[in-house]
Amino acid sequence: MKESTLLKLALITSLLGILIILFISEKTEIPSSDIKSINKNLLNKEVQITALVENVIETPGLYILTVKDNSASIKVIVFKEDPINITENSIIEIIGTVTEYKNQTEIIAKEIII
C-alpha cells in the first residue's frame, strides 16, 4: 500500500474517532443528585446538584460555599480562576467532584451555573 494512501486512511480514521468521542461526550449527562445521597462511596466521582447558597466565605485563593437542598447541606469549594458573583440565598447548579477534607465530604466545583 502506498505511503500517501496509508496516511490518508490514518487521518480519516483519526478524525472519525475524534468526532465520535465529541458526540458521545455531548450526549453524556451527569444525573442530578440530592445532597443527602453524596457520601464517601462517591469519592472522586462527578456529581451535579441544584442547591440554595446558605453561606459564602471568600479567602485569597478560593470561595467556600455552604449549600443546601431539601435533604441536607454540603460545602462546595470554588477555586478563584475567574471572579464569580454568588450571593447568599441564590439557587445555583453545581457540577463537581466529590472529595473528603478533614473527614468531611465536600464538592470541588468544576462548573457553576447561576
Kindly report, residue by residue over 10-21, the tens digit of the pLDDT: 999 999 999 988
Task: Express as a percent the part of the chain with pLDDT over 70.
Answer: 96
For the question of whether the overall pTM of this predicted structure is more than 0.85, the answer is no
Buried b (16+ CB within 10 A) or exposed e, 69-91: beeeebbbbbeeeeeeebeeeee
Residue 97 burial by CB count (10 A; 0-12/13-18/19+): exposed, middle or buried?
A: middle
Residue of 88 and 83 predicted with greater confidence: 88
Residue of 83 and 71 predicted with greater confidence: 71
Query: What was the pLDDT predicted at 29?
Result: 67
Predicted confidence (pLDDT) per residue in 22-53, tens digit: 888 776 667 777 888 888 888 888 999 999 99
Q: What is the CATH number of domain 35-113?
A: 2.40.50.140
What the block records as the C-alpha cell of 86 is 454568588
CB atoms within 10 A of CB 62: 15
Query: What was the pLDDT predicted at 27?
Result: 67
Q: Could you tell me the residue ranges of all domains in the chain?
A: 1-29, 35-113
Region label for 89, one of left (φ > 0), alpha (ψ between -120 and 50) or beta (otherwise): left
